[in-house]
């Protein structure tokens, strides 16, 4: 089933998640270095490669191994009765320094090396290309795997070889003959090398080809292009176009369109900067291309709205083709309303029919053919509503949580505090709402709170579902820890497998 059939699919049973593996696990009491904290995660289109970026400007690549080990014909798999679903396993492939700390002398501004986003580029030749960005500069990387052959044995017959490597004489020893500098002997014998020298029949018995015993793979990343000096504000998003030739980059006020082959020129396609900055009411928070229509993209704002734009309408897409926003309930406005309404991340479903958005309190699923309101709303942090003053004081209310969808479009996921993440079923009638912990025992902190669909806030045609609220205390009686937060996670494009980042550790789970 594809992502376009989310709303029409039959309810699927809740998934039982299992721990797969962890990279960079911390020992008890080990202090995490700031530069090692993971700040970006991305699977490639095939799901065979995974990239992470950290606050130290490094990009680490992982490669899937279980598919290679069991590759074979269908008949072989049937003969061995090998199951269709495999336990996904990844191994460390390579890492490279993508960005370094910089200083903008014109603006007296330090530019962090932290990786904000990573996006894989899909090339027809199967080579690995990816884009990585910090606050100001985007880089285009090619990851090459080269095989180096090792020669372990030259296969020379020791009985025929001489220490200096020259060919031994067949009959007369060199001690009996005196030779000249040009290689001829003083007695004018036929052992003198001449222009008409020829190999004897059958060749020389002591001359052999070298033997290659093994070959080693060397992985290297090369920066092919640098896209710089196009953003005055911090870059929050990059997204590849399905045409394979262009991509967008977005900061607080502008979205630029780039050609992958041209690094010194970009086109500004969205500009929300007012003539007077005092009139600024909202900023761009996230942007993404449509997965199948190269002329469409969506971007979200700090006011909780999503705009769909069509590049065919005009060169500057300040006027949107569709606007998605949820209307405020009368009398519900407070000081925190706009802060918690700000959308931190948006993702298109695989087929492009639906958009998933994450604000501070909820996940929302939008149908791009229906702008009256979201088709589903999932409560993530409803239990924090009484604590908004404290969260504002310690800046936690500004945390930017990411979201993701499964490849089949049946489920959505997002992170929370105490290194927890939540998985919701989004098909019609599916009440799945699972809480998992980023640890080797993911179900340890699961809170068995029944999902409670509440009354729709709009007309029945929107079919709004609200569920997933839970207690601020976990199953073990511990209060939630706001210093540990799971901001970044990614869903495998074709399987029920999730990679998520807890500080410097990368946890992987499958179902």
Q: Residue 69, Cβ neighbours under 10 Å: how many?
A: 10
Choose the weakest-confidence range: 138-152, 176-190, 326-340, 440-454: 176-190
Q: What is the pTM of this model?
A: 0.78
Phi-psi region of 165 (alpha: psi -120 to 50; beta: other; left: phi over 0): left
Per CATH, the number for 350-446+477-510 is: 2.130.10.10
Residue 477 pLDDT greater than 90, yes or no: no
Q: Residue 239, Cβ neighbours under 10 Å: how many?
A: 24
Residue 168: the pLDDT is 46
Residue 416 pLDDT greater than 90, yes or no: yes
Choose the weakest-confidence range: 2-6, 227-231, 349-353, 450-454: 450-454
- The angle at the Cα of 310, spanning 304 to 316, to the nearest 5 degrees, equals 90
Q: Which CATH superfamily is domain 90-151+213-325 in?
A: YVTN repeat-like/Quinoprotein amine dehydrogenase (2.130.10.10)
Mean pLDDT in the chain?
82
**Entry field: residues in the chain:** 511
- Residue whose entry in the numeric block shows the structure tokens 């910089």: 102
Give the strands of the sheet with 306-310, arranged side by side.
284-289, 296-301, 306-310, 322-324
Span 45-51, average pLDDT: 94
What distances in angstroms separate CA 441 from CA 88, 302, 390, one per listed residue?
17, 36, 30
Span 66-86, average pLDDT: 54
Give the best-scoring range by mean pLDDT among 151-160, 235-244, 309-318, 444-453. 235-244
**150: helix, coil or strand?**
strand
Instruction: Report the distance separating Cα 346 and Cα 287, nearest Å.
Output: 7
Span 423-451, average pLDDT: 78
Q: Residue 144, Cβ neighbours under 10 Å: how many?
A: 12
- Residue 228: pLDDT band (50, 70, 90) is very high
Residue 327: the pLDDT is 83
Percent of the chain scoring above 70 in pLDDT: 74
Q: Residue 313, Cβ neighbours under 10 Å: how many?
A: 12
Instruction: Report the distance separating Cα 50 and Cα 93, nearest Å.
Output: 10
Domain boundaries, the chain: 90-151+213-325, 350-446+477-510
Residue 370 pLDDT greater than 80, yes or no: yes
- Cα torsion 443, 447, 449, 455: sign: negative
Percent of the chain scoring above 90 in pLDDT: 58
| Beta carbons within 8 Å of 495's beta carbon, 6+ residues apart | 47, 85, 88, 407, 510
């Amino acid at each position: 089933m594809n992502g376009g059939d989310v709303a029409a699919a039959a309810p699927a049973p809740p998934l039982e998640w299992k721990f797969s593996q962890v990279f960079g696990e911390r020992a008890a009491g080990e202090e995490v270095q700031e530069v090692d904290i993971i700040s970006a995660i991305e699977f490639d289109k095939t799901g065979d490669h995974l990239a992470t970026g950290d606050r130290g400007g490094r990009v680490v690549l992982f490669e899937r191994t279980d598919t290679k080990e069991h590759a074979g014909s269908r008949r072989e798999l049937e003969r061995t009765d090998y199951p269709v679903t495999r336990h996904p396993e990844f191994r460390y492939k390579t890492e490279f320094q993508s960005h370094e700390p910089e200083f903008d002398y014109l603006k007296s501004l330090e530019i962090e090396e932290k990786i904000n986003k990573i996006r894989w580029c899909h090339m027809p030749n199967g080579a690995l290309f990816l884009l990585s960005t910090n606050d100001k500069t985007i880089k285009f990387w090619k990851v090459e795997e080269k095989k180096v052959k090792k020669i372990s044995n030259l296969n020379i017959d020791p009985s025929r070889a001489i220490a200096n490597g020259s060919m031994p004489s067949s009959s007369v020893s060199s001690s009996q003959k005196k030779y000249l500098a040009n290689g001829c002997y003083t007695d004018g014998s036929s052992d003198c090398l001449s222009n008409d020298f020829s190999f004897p029949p059958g060749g020389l018995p002591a001359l052999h080809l070298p033997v290659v015993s093994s070959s080693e793979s060397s992985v290297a990343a090369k920066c092919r292009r640098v896209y710089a000096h196009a953003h005055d504000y911090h870059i929050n998003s990059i997204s590849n176009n399905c045409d394979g030739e262009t991509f967008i980059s977005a900061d607080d006020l502008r979205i630029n369109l780039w050609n992958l082959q041209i690094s010194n020129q970009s086109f500004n396609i969205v500009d929300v900067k007012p003539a007077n900055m005092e009139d600024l009411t909202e900023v761009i928070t996230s942007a993404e291309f449509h997965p199948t229509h190269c002329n469409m993209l969506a971007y979200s704002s700090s006011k909780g709205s999503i705009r769909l734009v069509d590049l065919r309408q005009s060169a500057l897409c300040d006027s949107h083709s569709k606007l998605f926003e949820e209307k405020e309930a009368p009398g519900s406005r407070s000081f925190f309303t706009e802060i918690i309404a700000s959308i931190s991340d948006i993702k298109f479903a695989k087929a492009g029919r639906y958009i998933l958005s994450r604000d501070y309190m909820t996940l929302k699923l939008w149908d791009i053919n229906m702008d009256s309101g979201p088709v589903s709303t999932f409560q993530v942090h409803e239990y924090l509503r009484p604590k908004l003053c404290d969260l504002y004081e310690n800046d936690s209310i500004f945390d930017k949580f990411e979201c993701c969808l499964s490849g089949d479009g049946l489920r959505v996921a997002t992170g929370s505090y105490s290194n927890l993440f939540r998985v919701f079923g989004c098909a019609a009638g599916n009440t799945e709402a699972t809480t998992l912990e980023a640890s080797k025992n993911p179900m340890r902190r699961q809170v068995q709170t029944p999902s409670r669909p509440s009354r729709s806030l709009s007309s029945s045609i929107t079919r709004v579902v609200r569920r997933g609220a839970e207690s601020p205390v976990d199953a073990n009686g511990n209060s939630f820890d706001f210093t540990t937060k799971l901001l970044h996670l990614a869903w495998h494009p074709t399987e029920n497998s999730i990679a998520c980042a807890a500080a410097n550790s990368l946890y992987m789970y499958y179902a």
